């Protein structure tokens, strides 16, 4: 990736209360010593991964996001899962609500103008709790987390010595009548929750 490109994705970004409940679910898991917990401020649900983007492609993606007309919705997360090949422990929705699937569909369609190719796999809403962990670390007993989703975000992934960290670049509200998204350059942990 060249210096003038950003690694970007669209995501659902939790408010402070939801983030704290997700972190508690993560911290209640008996993880092995090699596991890398997702930092509290980086817990999220990816909607569409764009990868390396030039300034022009980012502008296209932001224009695509402005075309979205989706309603706020309630998302219930109640299922722990484990993917063995990437060794990821995740927490997600047993069934995604229709409003979420509609949001993902609208994003994928709008992003086609930006040379975005959607994943072939069916969409599965999940929060990555930990990486590099074994299947034995999974404990299926967990309390559900209910998340009132009111917006979605464009996020940058930045690599550092401890691994990737994320910064929210812009948010768009979910509502019946659409208004423009808000911009910002502060790290996402400094943004007001929403």
User: What pLDDT score does 148 carry?
Assistant: 96
User: What pLDDT score does 41 carry?
Assistant: 95
d(CA 139, CA 137): 6
Beta carbons of 103 and 47 less than 8 angstroms apart? yes
Task: For 72-127, give the DSSP string.
Answer: -EEEEE-EEEEETTTTEEEEE-SS--HHHHHHHHHHHHHHGGGT----SSPP--EE
Strand order through the sheet with 151-160: 45-53, 6-12, 151-160, 163-173, 182-183
d(CA 113, CA 123): 20
CA distances from 32 to 53, 83, 129, 138, 164 (A): 35, 15, 13, 10, 20
User: What pLDDT score does 161 carry?
Assistant: 72
User: What pLDDT score does 2 carry?
Assistant: 59
Segment (H or E) for 111: helix 98-111
User: What pLDDT score does 139 carry?
Assistant: 57
User: What pLDDT score does 1 carry?
Assistant: 52
b vs e for 81-91, b when ≥16 Cβ sit within 10 Å of the residue's Cβ?
A: ebeeeebbbbb
d(CA 122, CA 95): 12
User: What pLDDT score does 164 carry?
Assistant: 81
Contacts of 139 (CB under 8 A, 6+ apart): 28, 29, 30, 80
d(CA 71, CA 99): 7
pLDDT by residue for the chain (194 residues), tens only, comes to 556 899 999 999 999 999 999 999 999 888 888 899 999 999 999 999 999 999 999 999 999 999 999 999 999 999 998 898 889 999 999 999 999 999 999 999 999 999 898 888 889 999 999 999 886 555 567 889 999 999 999 999 998 777 788 999 999 999 865 444 444 433 333 333 33
Contacts of 98 (CB under 8 A, 6+ apart): none
């Amino acid at each position: 990736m060249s210096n003038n490109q950003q690694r970007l994705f669209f995501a659902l970004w939790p408010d402070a209360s939801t983030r704290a409940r997700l972190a508690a679910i993560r911290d209640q898991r008996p993880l092995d010593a090699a596991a890398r917990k997702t930092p509290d401020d980086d817990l999220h649900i990816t909607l569409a991964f764009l990868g390396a983007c030039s300034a022009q492609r980012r502008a296209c993606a932001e224009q695509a996001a402005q075309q979205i007309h989706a309603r706020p919705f309630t998302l219930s997360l109640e299922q722990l899962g484990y993917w063995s090949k990437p060794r990821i422990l995740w927490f997600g929705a047993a069934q995604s609500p229709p409003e979420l699937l509609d949001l993902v569909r609208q994003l994928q369609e709008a992003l086609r103008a930006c040379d975005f190719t959607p994943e072939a796999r069916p969409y599965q809403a999940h929060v990555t709790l930990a990486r590099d962990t074994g299947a034995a670390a999974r404990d299926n007993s967990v309390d559900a987390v209910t998340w009132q989703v009111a917006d979605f975000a464009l996020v940058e992934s930045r690599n550092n010595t401890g691994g990737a960290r994320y910064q929210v670049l812009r948010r768009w509200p979910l509502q019946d009548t659409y208004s423009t998204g808000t911009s910002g350059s502060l790290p996402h942990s400094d943004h007001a929750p929403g």
